[in-house]
Amino acid sequence: MGAGDGVLLYVYRGATFRVPDDVQPPKAGSRFFVSHLTVRPGERVLELGCGLGLAAVLMAREGARVVATDVVPSAVAATRANAILNGVDVDVRLGDCYAPVAGERFDLVCTNPPQMPTPSGAARDDAAAAADNGGRDGWALLDRVIDGAPAHLVPGGRLLFTIFAFLGRKRALAKLEARGFTPAVVASETQSFPRIGYERLDHLRRLDAEGTLPASGTPRTVERLVVEGRLSA
Ligand SMILES: C[S@@+](CC[C@H](N)C(=O)[O-])C[C@H]1O[C@@H](n2cnc3c(N)ncnc32)[C@H](O)[C@@H]1O
């Protein structure tokens, strides 16, 4: 965006976020995610995939000590700028999944990850694809987040993430249990069916083992879940 093109701003809960051209503005999933993030002052929190910093800034405003990461340089720059704009400290780092926080532990690890199942041929390597595409079954990043979480949480720590229900509620709970978490679905919400999902509807129906999508016709809505896993103290 050139200087003469204006500045796109997103205002939410009294915080203001600058939205650069190449970083997605917050969507329904982002708002659902932050609505179920609870932090206490002083808690050490890791957000993986911070985008323009909505969750990271709001958690820092609540007094959490936030490390926010993203694999896309423009997202890292946007979160840094938005933290400054809102007068909060966020430690923003560039890198893939847990690479920027090797050896560190947190009270909460959270993510609203890219999770749209992506058929072969639809994968790309631009910033928009990084925000949406979740690999063939939607779990590509999430599986790595779940697998790595126990090594990045303190005893009693929590992992919290969003999923589309068609990724599998039971599957999510089983994945968390397999890594030693006590799992729970903490919220569910009906949202508009994502535009990108229409292009991939046949692929989504094939993956929808728990039958959350109508078997025929055009879905208008999708169920979204916030899932939490808790380690024993
Ligand atoms: C759905 S967007 C969520 C953005 C923001 N947290 C929100 O809720 O609006 C997913 C974010 O994850 C980032 N991302 C994708 N792959 C990643 C990876 N391997 N490691 C870290 N971040 C990643 C994307 O660049 C994008 O900013």
pLDDT tens digits, residue range 176-222? 999 999 999 999 999 999 999 999 999 999 999 999 999 899 999 99
- For residues 221 and 206, what is the distance between their CA atoms, to the nearest angstrom? 18
72 CB under 6 A from ligand 1?
Answer: yes
Residue 217: what residue type?
A: G
Q: Is residue 85 part of a domain?
A: yes
The predicted pLDDT at position 122 comes to: 83
Q: Is residue 15 part of a domain?
A: no
- Tokens 């923003």 locate to 92
Q: Is residue 2 part of a domain?
A: no
Please count the helices (runs of H) and the strands (runs of E) in the chain.
Answer: 8, 9
Provide the β-strand partners of residue 68. Answer: 47, 92
112 CB under 6 A from ligand 1?
Answer: yes
The predicted pLDDT at position 13 comes to: 97
Average pLDDT over residues 78-91: 98
Q: How far apart are the CA of 184 and the centre of ligand 1, in A? A: 23
Closest CA to 35 of 152, 139, 191: 191
Mean pLDDT of the chain: 96
Q: Is residue 6 part of a domain?
A: no
* 27-56: pLDDT as tens digits: 999 999 999 999 999 999 999 999 999 999
The predicted pLDDT at position 3 comes to: 60
Closest CA to 47 of 27, 74, 71: 71
Q: How far apart are the CA of 230 and the centre of ligand 1, in A? A: 22
- Looking at the chain, the whole-number percentage of residues with pLDDT higher than 90 is 92
Q: Is the pTM of this model over 0.75?
A: yes
69 CB under 6 A from ligand 1?
Answer: yes
Q: Is residue 156 part of a domain?
A: yes
- Tokens 């790309």 locate to 124
- Tokens 């423009």 locate to 74
96 CB under 6 A from ligand 1?
Answer: yes
Q: For residue 198, what is the domain's CATH number?
A: 3.40.50.150
- For residues 48 and 113, what is the distance between their CA atoms, to the nearest angstrom? 8
The predicted pLDDT at position 121 comes to: 83
The CA-based angle 93-96-98, given to 5 degrees, is 80
Q: How far apart are the CA of 113 and the centre of ligand 1, in A? A: 5
pLDDT higher than threshold 60 for residue 154? yes
* 119-130: pLDDT as tens digits: 988 888 888 888
| H helix runs in 62-216, sequence order | 73-85, 127-132, 140-148, 169-178, 195-199, 201-207
Provide the β-strand partners of residue 158. Answer: 108, 230
**Which pLDDT band, with edges at 50, 70 and 90, does 5 fall under?**
confident
* 94-106: pLDDT as tens digits: 999 999 999 999 9
pLDDT higher than threshold 60 for residue 20? yes
Atom of ligand 1 nearest to the CA of 23: 27
Say how many domains are in the chain. Answer: 1
Atom of ligand 1 nearest to the CA of 113: 10
Q: Is residue 39 part of a domain?
A: yes
114 CB under 6 A from ligand 1?
Answer: yes
**Which pLDDT band, with edges at 50, 70 and 90, does 2 fall under?**
low
The predicted pLDDT at position 71 comes to: 97
Q: Is residue 220 part of a domain?
A: yes
Domain with 27 in it:
22-230
Q: Is residue 7 part of a domain?
A: no
Q: Is 123 helix (H, G, I), strand (E, B) or coil?
A: coil
